[in-house]
């Protein structure tokens, strides 16, 4: 996951926070493709053979396959080879702007690429097809927030808000008792795009503006387009999605970015909403987004001044 973590616990103890951080670290140790001993690394090293993994990793792979189907392939966790060819071959904090560090050879994805079709999750093992690389990407952040929030509530805390790298999950009572107010932010703006209210649920924001690196004269980002095998050239820079679970919000945010402004909200159901920003600062919101603004009506399209003011 490789992300900052912020946790708010209502009606808990310092021990509750320690428990949450230990659990997130455990999930990181199981799911990071940058750790030689992680279960995701084991799956990739043993592609073509069933691998015994924890129930956490079984759930991760199952959710990733579900996300691939749900988005019609816009979210694809089988793009590990393409990510590495684009330069994202190590943990992000180790990436530099020295082009000699990476092989610059992003390639087009084959038309008959298998996607998730042949990934098998059974009662005790997971099998990644031979020749396929599995990278859960940001879905791990949202799913980790879901898991840890639910476990804290089950252990008796009154409420919890977990933010893992921009994927927020809230459950139970807020500090005020009047629901949770969450800011949707743009990486280049000092002011939030919007403040949204939730009693419980999730918000995930994805952007092509933060996790970037330079190879030669060209700047790359981490969002790979499954149709080309290269970093996306979508007209959108930021997408935020509100929905019931963190893993699903993360997946739908990625799918919105890839689909572009004209089709960003196609995968959303009636219980979900979203807002997107293009590279010029224009904001577009889905039909149901205003219901999360406490009665404030957001125009369908407005302009964000990336110096920090909305116009």
Q: Which residue has the higher pLDDT, 100 or 288?
A: 288
Residue 111: predicted pLDDT: 37
Residue 218: predicted pLDDT: 54
Residue 95 within any structural domain of the chain: no
Residue 21 within any structural domain of the chain: no
Find the range with the poorest average confidence among 80-89, 110-119, 171-180, 191-200.
80-89
Q: Are 142 and 247 in contact (CB under 8 A)?
A: yes
- The answer for residues whose C-beta is within 8 angstroms of residue 91's C-beta and 6 or more apart is 2, 32, 34
Count CB-CB contacts under 10 A for residue 266.
12
Residue 279 within any structural domain of the chain: yes
Residue 54 within any structural domain of the chain: no
Span 298-308, average pLDDT: 48
pLDDT digits (tens, 9 = 90+) for 213-243: 455 555 554 677 777 767 767 899 899 999 9
Cα separation, 141 vs 227, whole angstroms? 24
Domain of 248 in residue numbering reads as: 179-311
Residue 294: predicted pLDDT: 62
Number of domains present in the structure of the chain:
1
- The first and second tokens of residue 108, run together, are 């087009």
Percent of the chain with pLDDT strictly greater than 70 = 78
Residue 27 within any structural domain of the chain: no
pLDDT digits (tens, 9 = 90+) for 58-72: 999 999 999 999 998
Q: Which CATH number does the domain housing residue 267 bear?
A: 3.10.520.10
Residue 127 within any structural domain of the chain: no
Residue 31 within any structural domain of the chain: no
Find the range with the poorest average confidence among 100-114, 131-145, 169-183.
100-114
Residue 89 within any structural domain of the chain: no
pLDDT digits (tens, 9 = 90+) for 1-55: 567 899 999 998 889 999 999 999 999 999 998 899 999 999 999 999 999 999 9
3-state secondary structure the chain: CCCCEEEEEECCCHHHHHHHHHHHHHHHHHHCCCCCCCHHHHHHHCCCCCEECCHHHHHHHHHHHHHHHHCCCCCCCCCHHHHHHCCCCCCHHHCCCCHHHCCCCCCCCCCCCCCCCCCEECCCEEECCCCCCCCCCCHHHHHHHHHHHHHHHHCCCCEEEEEECCEEEEEECCCCCCCEEEEECCCCCCCCCEEEEECCEEEEEEECCCCEEEECCEEEECCEECCCCEECCCCEEEEEEEECCHHHHHHHHHHHHHHCHHHCCCCCCCCCEEEEEECCCEEEECCCHHHHCCCCCCCCEEEEECCCEEC
């Amino acid at each position: 996951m490789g992300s900052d973590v912020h946790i708010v616990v209502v009606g808990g103890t310092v021990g509750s926070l320690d428990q949450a951080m230990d659990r997130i670290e455990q999930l990181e140790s199981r799911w990071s493709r940058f750790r030689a001993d992680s279960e995701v690394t084991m799956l990739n090293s043993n592609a073509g053979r069933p691998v015994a993994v924890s129930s956490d990793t079984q759930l991760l792979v199952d959710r990733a396959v579900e996300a691939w189907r749900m988005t019609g392939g816009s979210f694809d966790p089988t793009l590990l080879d393409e990510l590495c060819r684009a330069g994202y071959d190590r943990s992000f904090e180790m990436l530099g702007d020295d082009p000699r560090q990476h092989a610059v050879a992003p390639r087009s994805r084959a038309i008959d690429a298998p996607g998730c079709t042949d990934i098998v999750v059974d009662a005790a093992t997971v099998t990644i097809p031979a020749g396929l690389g599995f990278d859960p990407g940001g879905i791990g952040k949202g799913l980790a927030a879901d898991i840890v929030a639910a476990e804290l509530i089950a252990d008796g805390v009154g409420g919890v808000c977990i933010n893992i790298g921009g994927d927020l999950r809230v459950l139970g009572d807020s500090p005020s008792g009047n629901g949770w107010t969450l800011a949707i932010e743009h990486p280049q703006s000092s002011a939030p795009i919007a403040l949204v209210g939730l009693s419980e649920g999730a918000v995930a924001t994805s952007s092509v503006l933060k996790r970037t690196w330079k190879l030669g004269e060209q700047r790359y980002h981490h969002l790979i387009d499954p149709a080309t095998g290269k970093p996306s050239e979508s007209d959108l820079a930021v997408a935020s999605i509100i929905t019931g679970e963190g893993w699903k919000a993360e997946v739908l945010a990625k799918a919105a970015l890839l689909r572009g402004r004209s089709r960003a909200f196609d995968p959303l159901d009636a219980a979900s909403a979203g807002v997107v920003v293009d590279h010029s600062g224009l904001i577009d919101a889905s039909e149901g987004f205003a219901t999360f603004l406490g009665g404030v009506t957001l125009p369908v399209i407005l302009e964000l001044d990336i110096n920090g003011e909305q116009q």
